[in-house]
Each structure stands twice: as C-alpha cells, then as structure tokens.
Chains A and B, each alone.
Chain A
Amino acid sequence: MTKQISSSTKNESMHKKNVISRSNQRPFLWLLPLLSFLFLFFLLPCIDVIRTSFTNASMTSTDYKYTLNSYIRVFQDPSFLNVLWITLFFVAVSVVFQFVFGFAIALAVDHGEKKNMYGTVLTRTISLISWAIPGVAIGIIWKLLYSESQSGILNYLLTSMGFHSIAFLTNPFLALIFMTLANVWRGTAQSMILLYAGLKTVSIEVIEASDVDGAGPFRKILSIIVPSMKSVIMINILLNIINTFNTFDMIMSLTGGGPGRSTEVLVLSSYRTIFQQLDLGKGSAIAVVLLVINIVFASLYIRANREEN
C-alpha cells in the first residue's frame, strides 16, 4: 500500500509532500497500543472509582446500591478534616523547603562551576542520589536514624551536644514534622536538577549586565535570575506538589500513618478505609477527592508546560 503510493508519486515531486503527509498516515493505528493500555489500566479504573464512590459497596460483599452516603460520611467525619490538614501541612512545608534548599544548591553549584571550584560535580551528584532511592527504603533509612532507643544515632548526637533527646516519631506533631524532613531529603533532588538546568538557560549577558549595575547577590537572584526562570520554577513547584500529594511508600515504612492517625495523609486514609476497614464506598469517595486534586494540579502543570513550549 505504502509502496504503491510512494512509487506512483516518484515522478511527481510537486505533490510528494502532500501525498506523504496525508494519504498513508493512520494516526489511530499508531496510537492504538498506547491508548488501549491507558484506557484499560487508567481511564476505566478512574471511572470505576468515581462510580463506586456513589455506592455503599464493601470489600466483603458483592451487593451494593447507589447512594450519596459515602460522601456525606466523608465530609461529616471530623477526622477527615484532620487528614486534609495533615496533607496540607505535609505538602506545603515539604514543597517550600524542597524549593528553597534545591534552589540554594543549584545556585551554589552553578556559581562554583563559574569560579572553577573543586567539588562541584561531587556535590551535584550527592545532592541528587536520593532521587534514585525507592521511597520505601527512604522511609526505613529515616526510621533507623530516628530510633528513640539509646543507641539511636540522631538522639545520641543531640544529647552529646547538650540538647534534650527528641521523641521523633512517637510525639504526634513531631512525627509529622520529621516525616516532612525526610520528604525534604527525598524531594530536594527533583528541585535541584530542574532549577540547575534552568539556571543554565539564563543568558550570561543578563547576569553580566547586573554585575555592571553592582547588584548584590540577593538582589541579583530575586530581580534577575528568578524572573527569567519563572516558568521552570512554576513547573518545578507544581511537580513537587503533585509528587508529595501522592506520597505513600515512604510514609508507609516510616510512620505507617501513626502515631495514632497523626501522619495519615489523604492517600493513606483512602488506603486504610478500603483495605483495613473494608469500606469500599467511603474509601473510593476519598480517592475521588484525591483524583480531583490531582486533576487540578495536573491542569495547572499542563498550562505551565504549554507556556514553556
């Protein structure tokens, strides 16, 4: 088929382009494998979660009827408000520190490279390693650090420096804070790498012009570098928000949502409701809340991406 078309057009160079770009393309065929995978393993399940959220289904029986009861129970549950607040704290604090710390490392490495300093490649590599570590292992590693027994390393270092020991994971509020710290350790790499790549695109003329103006380093960062990297910064922050929102692995092995429910974020709450309380209807309603938040931030991300390209 293709061969026929191309041989018949061989002598008609005028029409070559049109023939090629129109007649022998079947975009749907090329997309079919991808679209069927996405349909079966993504779209269909998403629709099914939405459907299930409007039922009173449970994991133990196959009978159910349609009702709004799941949503009413979710939003009337005072502990759900708490889950939202924990999620918000976890996401907001993580993302702020991941951004500030990641930007600081990117600036420091970039500046060091311009001055031909030693150790820039090493620092860059070390700051990125955490990206390649499975989240589950990160949770376990930090749990080992936070050990509150007398042989726990962080508490040993604190007490030997004259501080009190800390109930890292047994105090409800501290557990949330130290879980967030572990997540900063995990997610800074993502910020660092995007912002570092973004810095390389800031034109040297712009920076040199500010040197002539005699701008101080902080003014230079705020009024020259940040504005020229605006869209990379937006994309970076949105990606970190989405990643932190969807964090499950690290929390599972670090706190498991505890103590009590003090580190139970949205994903964990949905998981527990479905697989521990076996309340499929309510758990699906929480999953739909998660899905809506995902879609909102995904749309913002796509808009930021569109502006960039």
Chain B
Amino acid sequence: MYMSVKRKSVLTKISLYLFYIFVSVFFLFPLLWTLSLSFKTIPELYRIPPSILPDSFAFDNYKYVIFQVNLLSGVWNSIKITLGTIIGTLAITIPAAYCFSRMKFRFSKPLQFIILMFQMISPLVVVVPLYRYFSMLNLLNSHTGLICIYIATSAPFQVWFLKSFIDTIPKELDEAAVIDGCSRPQTVVKIILPVIAPGIFSAVLLIFILSWSQFIIPYILIDTPSKMPIATMLVNLQSTLSQITTHYLASASIVAILPTIILFVFLQKYIVAALTAGAVKG
C-alpha cells in the first residue's frame, strides 16, 4: 500500500516534469529559432538540412538592420509614442479612478461599465473615421494624433485597474486630509498617489507593453517610414525584403521584441497583478 502510493507520486512527478519540458519547448522553440536565424549568413539560410545553431554569433545582421534599415528610428518612435501614451493615460485616468472610487453620484456604476465596454471594441472600427478626420486636419503621420488614440484605447482598462487600487485605501485616510484643509487635488497627490504607487507602476508597465504592440492604428494612420513605430516598420520591412533576407527580418524581430520581453521577465510580478485584476477576487 505504502509503496504503491509512493510510486504513484513519483509517476505524477515524472509526468509533470515531462509536461513542463513540453510547455517550455513549445513556447521557447519559435523564439530560439528566430534568434538562431538572426545570426545566420545567407549560405547558412539555404543550407540543407538547416543547422540548428548559427556558425558564429556575429552581430553583422543586427548592425545591418540597425544602421542600414534604420530600425533604430522605429524603436525611438515607439519609445516616444509609448511615453506620451503613459503620461497621457495616467493624467486622465487617475482623476477618473479617484472620482469613481470616492464620489457618490447617479449613473456612476453604469458609466463605469460603459467605459469598460470601450475596451472590447476593435480599434479598426474607430480608426476608419479617424483616418478621414486626420487627413482633413493634416494629422496623418503625426505622433500627437497617434498618442491621443492610444490614450483613448488604453484608458478604459486603466480606470478600472487604478480604481480597484484606490478602493483598497481606507476612506478615513483621505477624508482626514480634506478635513485638515487639503483640497481634493492635493489629497490625491499627497495621500492617494504614494499609497497606490505599486499599482501605478503596474499600470505603466501594462500601458508600455500594449502601446509597443499596437499595430492596426499606426498601420493605417502612418505611411512615412521615418515616422513609423517599430511594429509597422517590421511589416514594412517584411514586404520589402525578399526570401533571401530572412536573416535580417529575424534580427529585426528580435530587436522589436527584446524590450517587452525583458520588461516582462524581470517585472512579471507587477504585470501579472494588473492582468488578473478584476477577474479574480483579491
């Protein structure tokens, strides 16, 4: 009896480890293959059978995409747009989150749910009319216009997320400040913000990764290559490069995904907290 229980538990462990290996291979293999391609030379690309590892880990392909294709301008554009989106989104969602958490007024709940609904609407639906407005206003190829739309698309979730953080602060804390003569904006800055700092950090990471990945909006609104963020630049590169330059495409993809992967791997605690907020009871 004892043996069989023990054997059963060993078997469970072995099958769990096998499953872990399967999961790791399934999720890592595509990335590792792209990484390997990104170091290969043209003769290596066409070698039959394909070699798993590149002959050398020279950074020639990376140098090419960064300096010849000017991928760095895409990275730089993405950074600018992303930072603008982070600042703008926080600026409009923190007051709204505070308001929904602390003030009682009619239609507060329905309004919150309507706002959440916006999050589910495909950006394509809104970007079609915006394309027409922007071309009339000469805002096509403008980062400011792009940032405004990004703010509108990332705000709905962030209002909910930040509100859930403010909800955890006891009301007495900020009401005491109001009684002591703080105005509400002062209360938010002095009392609320320091307490919800970890939540804001999660929000920043989430907005960063989602803005970095945005595609359909810049794909439609931006056609000047020097203005493109990294995501649309990749597709642009894909359509201009031929089969023979797969290794460049691979290294460009690695450059594009590296920032978000690094953020995710090292700061996943904060990101996971944001991703599960709302769906799972604290």
Contacts and interface: CB of A to CB of B under 8 A. Distances in A.
Interface of A: 2-3, 6-7, 9-10, 16-17, 20-21, 24-25, 27, 30-31, 33-34, 37-38, 40-42, 44-46, 48-49, 52, 104-105, 108, 111-112, 115, 117, 119-120, 122-123, 125-137, 140-142, 144-145, 147, 149-153, 156, 160, 185, 190, 193-194, 197-198, 200-201, 232, 235-236, 239, 242, 245-246, 248-249, 252-253, 267, 270-271, 274-275, 280, 283-284, 287, 290-291, 294-295, 297-299, 301-302, 305-306, 308-309
A38 B156 CA distance: 9
Contacts of A232: 279-280
Contacts of A129: 27-28, 31, 261, 264-265
A52 B129 CA distance: 9
A242 B33 contact: no
A142 B30 contact: yes
B269 to A, nearest CB: 11
B48 A287 contact: no
B125 interface: yes
Contact of A41 (B28, B46, B148, B257): B148
Given A283-B128, A298-B120, A134 B231 contact: yes
B28 A112 contact: no
B96 A30 contact: yes
A92 B149 CA distance: 30
B58 interface: no
Interface stretch (B63-71, B179-187, B190-198): B179-187
Contacts of B256: 134, 136-137
B159 interface: yes
B235 A267 contact: no
B257 A137 contact: yes
Given A27-B99, A134-B212, A302-B117, A145 B122 contact: no
Contact of A27 (B105, B113, B212): B105
Chain B's interface size range is: 35 or more
Contacts of A156: 49-50
Interface in B79-125: 91-93, 95-96, 98-99, 102-105, 108, 111, 113, 115-125
Nearest to A271: B124
B49 A132 contact: no
22 contacts: A2-B183, A3-B181, A30-B103, A33-B95, A34-B115, A41-B149, A42-B121, A45-B130, A46-B121, A119-B17, A119-B20, A134-B230, A137-B257, A140-B238, A147-B246, A156-B49, A156-B50, A194-B275, A232-B279, A232-B280, A252-B215, A295-B120
Contact of A128 (B116, B153, B264, B281): B264
B19 A134 contact: no
A185 B30 contact: yes
